[in-house]
Structure 1
Amino acid sequence: MRLNEFAAISTTKALLVPYERRHVLTYHAWMEDPAIQEATASERLSLEEEYENQGSWRASHDKLTFIICQPLPQGEHGTSLCAGESDAPERMVGDVNLFLYPYEDEGEDQLPSETLDFCVGEVDIMIADQQHRGKGFGRAAVQAFLQYIYRHRDEIMQEYAEDKDVRTPPKLKLLMAKINKGNAKSIALFKSLGFAQEGEVNYFGEVKLVLPSRVLTLRHSGGFALDLPEGYSELVYSKDQNQDEKR
C-alpha cells in the first residue's frame, strides 16, 4: 500500500518501517531459509524477483507491510525518522503484514461488486532469525500494527477500494490470523491480544483466530479497546530516494 510509504511506528519494544528497496537484500537472505519458506508457504525467489515483489507490494491496494526492527534507543523518539541507521540490516528482525479480501458469509449469496459492504483483514507476522525469537518482538510488533490499523482503518479501506468496482469503500468486518496448529507460541501471542479461535483445525492444519470488529472501537471511557503499546508514536519516515534506487 502507498498509505505507509512515509510512515514509521515506534514503541519502546519495536520499530516498524515501510518495506523499501534498501531492505530487500536482507529480506531475500531470510527467505533463502527452507524453514521460513515452509512456515510462510513461500517459494524460493531470485534476488531480482524479490526486488520486483517489493515494488508490487508497495503498489498493491490489498497488502500493507512493515519491516520489524529493534526499537529506537531511549531518548531518540522525535517526530521523524531518517531511513538508513535505525533500519540497517543488523537491526532488522522480521515483517508484519495485512492482507485484505472481500468478506464472504457462508450460506449467503455473493453480493455484486458494486455493493461490496465488508472485507476481511488477515494479519501475518514473521520473526526471521532464531536469535530474535522469544524476546517479545512478535507481540510488540503485532500490538503496534493493530493500533496502526485501527487509527487508519478508513484510509486503508479507501485505498483498498481504489482498484475495486465499488461505490463506497467497504467496512473492515474482522481481523484474523491463520496459524499452524503446532505453532503454540504464535497462537498464544494472538490470543493474548484478543483473538479467539473460530472453528476447528482446517485441511491445511491451520487454526483460524479472529478479532471481531467490535474490538476495533473506542471504549466509552475514551481509551482504545486495544491496549496502547508503551511509547507508541507514528513518525514521518524520510528516505534518500536516490540511494534507494541504487540498491
Structure 2
Amino acid sequence: MRLNESTAISTTRALLVPYDSRHVPTYHAWMEDPAIQEATASEPLTLEEEYENQASWRASHDKLTFIVCEPLTSPGSDTPTIPAGGPDSPARMVGDVNLFLYPYEDEGEGEGDDDDGDFPSATPDYCVGEVDIMIAGAQHRGKGLGRAVVQGFLQYVARHRAGITREYAEDKDMAAAVPGLKLLMAKIDEGNEKSLALFRSLGFRQEGEVNYFGEVKLVLRDLDMLAEEVPEGYAELVYSREQSQNGENHQQQQQ
C-alpha cells in the first residue's frame, strides 16, 4: 500500500517501518530458512524475485506491510523523523507484520445464489483483513515481542481504517462506494500454541473448525476495541529517505 510509505510506528517495544528495497537482502536471507518457509507456507524466491515482490507489495492496494525493527533508543516525539537506513539497518531488523484485504463473503447471504446454496456470496459493502506476523530470529521470540508488534500494528489499522479501505476500493474501482472493514482474522496452524495465545489475548476468537490445512481461524469482529488500548509509547513518525539518499550520493562522490 501507498498509505504507509512515509510512516513509521514507534512503541517502547518495537519500531515498524515501511517495507523498502533496502530491506530485501535481509528479508530474502530470512526466507531461505526452511523453518520460516514452512511456518509461513512460502516458496523460496531468488533475490531478483524478492525485489520484484517488494515493489509489487508497495504498489498493491490490498497489502499493508511493515518491517519490524528493534525499538528506538529515544522513542516518541523526541524523534519525529526516522532516517531510512539507520534505525532500520539490517542488524536491527527483526521480522514483518502484514494486513491482507479480501472481499467479505457472507455464507448466509450465499444461500439461494446457486443450485446447492453451498457457496458464500461476495458482499461489496465490506472487506476483511487477514493479519500475519513473522519474528525471524529465534533470539527475539518468546519475549512478548510478537504481541507488542501486533498490538501496535492494530492500533495503526484502527486509526487509519478509512484510508486503508479507501485505497483498497481504488484498486477495485469502487471509489464511489468504499467498503467497510467487517472483521480481522488470523489463520494459524493448530499446533502453534504461542501464536494462538497471542491473538486470543488481543480479543480474537476461534470461528469454525480446523480447516483442511490444519489451520485455526481466529476472528475479531469488534473493531472499535482496537483503539481502546494504546501501546506504551505509541507514536506515528515520518519515515524519511532523504537523509539516506544524500548519504549514498555523498559516498558515491567520494568513490
The normalised TM-score by structure 1 is 0.91
Query: Given the alignment of the two structures, is residue 124 of structure 1 paired with residue 140 of structure 2, yes or no?
Result: no
Distance in 2 (alpha carbons) for counterparts of 1:193 and 1:25: 32
Output the aligned Cα RMSD.
Answer: 2.1
Within 5 Å, give how 1:202-241 maps onto structure 2.
202-212=211-221, 214-216=222-224, 224-225=227-228, 227-240=229-242
- Supply the AA of the counterpart residue of 1:65: T
- Matched residue of 2:191: which SS? coil
Q: Which moved further from structure 2: 166-175 or 4-13?
A: 166-175
Equivalent position to 1:164, from 155, 172, 180: 172
Distance in 2 (alpha carbons) for counterparts of 1:102 and 1:14: 31
**Residues 46-94 of structure 1 deviation map (CA, whole Å, 9 limit, x = unaligned):** 0000000000000000000000000001367421111111001010000
**Residues 108-145 of structure 1 deviation map (CA, whole Å, 9 limit, x = unaligned):** 237998x7100000000000011111122211110000
- Matched residue of 1:210: which SS? strand
Within 5 Å, give how 1:42-121 maps onto structure 2.
42-74=42-74, 77-109=78-110, 116-121=124-129
> Which residue is 1:133 aligned to?
141
- Matched residue of 2:5: which SS? coil
Query: Given the alignment of the two structures, is residue 14 of structure 1 paired with residue 22 of structure 2, yes or no?
Result: no
Distance in 2 (alpha carbons) for counterparts of 1:51 and 1:85: 20
> Which residue is 2:198 aligned to?
189
Structure 2 stretches lacking a partner, 5+ long: 114-119, 250-255
Query: Given the alignment of the two structures, is residue 155 of structure 1 paired with residue 157 of structure 2, yes or no?
Result: no
Distance in 1 (alpha carbons) for counterparts of 2:161 and 2:33: 34
- Supply the AA of the counterpart residue of 2:150: V
Distance in 2 (alpha carbons) for counterparts of 1:75 and 1:62: 29
Shift of 1:165: 3.0
Distance in 1 (alpha carbons) for counterparts of 2:239 and 2:93: 16
> Which residue is 1:34 aligned to?
34
Q: Which moved further from structure 2: 99-108 or 49-58?
A: 99-108
Distance in 2 (alpha carbons) for counterparts of 1:75 and 1:149: 20
Work out whether residues 10 and 75 of structure 2, in 8 Å CA contact, stay in contact via their aligned partners in 1. Answer: no
Equivalent position to 2:210, from 197, 201, 204: 201
- Matched residue of 1:116: which SS? strand
Shift of 1:163: 1.4
Shift of 1:233: 0.2
- Matched residue of 1:73: which SS? coil
- Supply the AA of the counterpart residue of 1:58: R
Distance in 1 (alpha carbons) for counterparts of 2:192 and 2:223: 24
**Residues 157-182 of structure 1 deviation map (CA, whole Å, 9 limit, x = unaligned):** 00000111323110000000000000
- Supply the AA of the counterpart residue of 2:42: S
- Supply the AA of the counterpart residue of 2:81: S
Query: Based on CA coordinates, which of the two structures has the bigger radius of gyration?
Result: 2
Structure 1 stretches lacking a partner, 5+ long: 219-223
- Matched residue of 2:98: which SS? strand
